Amino acid sequence: MTEIYFYSGAYDKLTTACRLCAKALQQNMRVLIYILDTTVMNKMDELLWTFSATSFIPHCSVLSQHDKEVIESSPVIISNNIQAGVHFDVLLNLHSECPPMIEQFNRLIEIVDLSDHDSESGRHRFRCYKQKGFTIHHHQLKDSTTS
């Protein structure tokens, strides 16, 4: 069953997402970053190349279900949809709602920043997962790190 990991108190949500992607890649996990907002998608795409001065996170942005070859070959995919039957270990949700088809992932990562709006939508997602019986792990971030 999918395990849910909440990281709350993020100073910068996208940078935290990059750090968590890097951790997942170090553990040989494949990551799907779920984003519906194309502006945020473009920012995340740029940040994955530049957030570290000494490295980058190899990834592709996919806006279509027809890019199956690209999806299967990249360790990190940024996408606005979740396809059934394509294996990823981790779903990193950067949307304000609960994503679809989370049961096909081993792990779902939620990041909640310091804003009131994001905190409220994070609480809503937390309740949604809890009601569905998922195991939830919570990590309170300090000084924008991913402890």
Residue 98 to residue 87: CA distance in whole angstroms = 19
Predicted TM-score (pTM) of the model is 0.91
pLDDT attached to residue 87: 87
Decide which of 3.40.390.30, 3.40.50.10110, 3.10.20.30, 3.40.30.10 is the CATH code for 3-140: 3.40.50.10110
CA distances in angstroms from 45 to 11, 13, 28, 50, listed in the order given: 19, 14, 20, 9
Residue 140 to residue 119: CA distance in whole angstroms = 12
Cα Rg of the chain, angstroms: 14
pLDDT attached to residue 65: 58
Q: State pLDDT tens for residues 52-64.
A: 888 889 998 886 6
Residue 46 to residue 65: CA distance in whole angstroms = 22
Residue 128 has pLDDT above 60, yes or no: yes
